[in-house]
Amino acid sequence: MISVSRVTRLLLAVMLTGLLPGCGPAHVVVEGKFPAPLIEPLPMTLGVWYGDDFAGHEFFDESKSRQESSWIVSTGVAQVQMWNTLLDGMFTKVVQLTRPPSAGQPVANVDAILVPHVEELQYAIPRHTKVKVYEIWMRYRFELLSAGGTPVAEWNMTSYGKTPTGFLQSDQEAVNLAAVMALRDAGANFATNFTRVPAVRNWLQEQGVQTESVSP
């Protein structure tokens, strides 16, 4: 014979098990399409290194109350997809490195090495802003290194994406679209301003590369 208290505990366990999936954070794995830039590529072979923090980038925002959801926004796969597409259109050849660059260990057959970092990601949804707009901000840091791993240039760049909620069915869809727009904005900013970074421009001129600004 099962006691009432045991029955109660069993019922509570079943109820809690059913509730747990709904209590987890809202998880968005960013997916989107990123068009190639329509520009004349720079006559260079660029090596690119995506560190684990970049290729597996995730943003976690813990809820401040029971009425709000925590969020995990995973941008890593979309980041690599977007930057591969962009850089393939900006340079004659792009080589994705299999190990991190290091001074004193030259990488063969590349002219320079780009190392991108996502330094910060922030988001705002209607619950935060009280308006029907979803927004994503990203701040990047870039390192441009010589083939031998010595620093050439380092600079920061921001990007921004937003989308209204009117045509979307869920918060997750809206956050995804805002992130995609922020990634596209990052690509446009990078393509437009790469040769305008003073240290990059000077280095390109030393290599005999024309430094006219490019447009996405």
pLDDT tens for each residue of 5-50: 443 333 433 333 333 344 577 889 999 999 999 889 999 999 999 9
Structure tokens at 55: 């290729």
Q: With both helix axes pointing from N to C terminus, report the angle between 171-193 and 76-90 in degrees, rounded to the nearest 10.
A: 30
The torsion defined by the Cα of 160, 165, 170 and 173, in degrees rounded to 10, comes to: -30
* Of 27 and 139, the one with more pLDDT: 139
Tell me the Cα Rg of the chain: 23
Give Cα separations from 135 to 7, 139, 159, 189 (angstroms): 48, 14, 11, 18
Q: Using alpha carbons, select from 118, 97, 87, 78 the residue that is nearest to residue 190.
A: 87
> What average pLDDT score do residues 127-131 get?
65
What confidence tier does 106 reach under pLDDT thresholds 50, 70, 90?
A: confident
Q: What is the pLDDT of residue 4?
A: 39
Q: What is the pLDDT of residue 14?
A: 35
Spell out the domains of the chain, with CATH numbers in brackets. Answer: 25-206 (3.40.50.10610)
Q: What is the pLDDT of residues 52-67, one digit of tens each?
A: 999 999 988 776 666 5
What confidence tier does 213 reach under pLDDT thresholds 50, 70, 90?
A: very low
Please give the Cα distance from 89 to 10 (Å, whole number).
60
Confidence check: pLDDT of 76 > 80: yes
Q: What is the pLDDT of residue 134?
A: 84
Please give the Cα distance from 140 to 121 (Å, whole number).
9
Contact 119, 167 (CB under 8 A): no
* Of 115 and 209, the one with more pLDDT: 115
